[in-house]
Amino acid sequence: MDVFLTDEQRRLRAEVRAWLDEAYPPQRVAALEHDREYPEEFWAACATRGWCGIPVPVEHGGRAGTVTDLCVFVEEVAKTTISLATLYITATIFGSHALEICGSPAQRERLLPAVAAGAVRFGLAMSEPGAGSDFAAMTTTATRVDGGWRIDGRKGPCSGAERAEVLITAARTATDPGSSHRGISLFLVEPPVDGLRFERRDFAAMRGLPVDDVVYDSVIVGDDAMLGAEGEGWRNLGRLMGPERLANAAQAVGVAQAAVDDAVGYARQRRQYGKPIGGFQAVAHPLATAHAEIAAARLLVYGAARKCDADGPSPLEVSMAKMMANNVAVRATDAALQTAGARGYEEESPFMRRFLEARGCELGGGTSQIQRNIISRHLGLQ
Ligand SMILES: Cc1cc2nc3c(=O)[nH]c(=O)nc-3n(C[C@H](O)[C@H](O)[C@H](O)COP(=O)(O)OP(=O)(O)OC[C@H]3O[C@@H](n4cnc5c(N)ncnc54)[C@H](O)[C@@H]3O)c2cc1C
Domain extents for the chain? 7-121, 124-229, 234-379
Mean pLDDT for 361-371 is 97
Span 9-33, average pLDDT: 97
3-state secondary structure of 222: strand
pLDDT in tens, 148-195: 999 999 999 999 999 999 999 999 998 777 777 889 999 999 999 999
Q: Is the overall model pTM greater than 0.85, yes or no?
A: yes
CB-CB contact of 172 with 183 (8 Å): yes
- pLDDT, residue 1, reads 59
Residue 135 CA, closest ligand 1 atom number: 21
CB 37 within 8 A of CB 31: yes
Q: Does the structure show a pLDDT above 80 at 2? A: no
Whole-number Cα distances in Å, 324 to 3, 271, 314, 321: 19, 33, 16, 5
| Ligand 1 centroid from CA 52, angstroms | 27
Quote the ligand 1 centre to 285 CA distance (angstroms).
Answer: 33
User: Residue 113 Cα, ligand 1 centroid: separation in angstroms?
Assistant: 32
Say which CATH architecture domain 124-229 belongs to: Beta Barrel (2.40)
pLDDT (0 to 100) of residue 158: 98
253 Cβ neighbours under 8 A, 6+ residues apart: 75, 78, 294, 297, 298, 301, 325, 328, 329
The predicted-structure confidence for 96-107, as pLDDT tens digits, reads as follows 999 999 999 999
Residue range 54-70, pLDDT digits in tens = 999 999 999 999 999 99
Is residue 210 in contact with ligand 1, taking CB distance under 6 Å? no
Beta carbon of 206 within 6 Å of any ligand 1 atom? yes
Task: For residue 367, give the ligand 1 atom closest to its CA.
Answer: 47
Q: Which atom of ligand 1 is nearest to the CA of 155?
A: 11
CATH fold of 234-379, please?
A: Butyryl-CoA Dehydrogenase, subunit A; domain 3 (1.20.140)
Q: What is the CATH number of domain 7-121?
A: 1.10.540.10
Asked if the domains 124-229 and 234-379 are classified in one and the same CATH topology, the answer is: no
CA of 130 to the centre of ligand 1 (A): 10
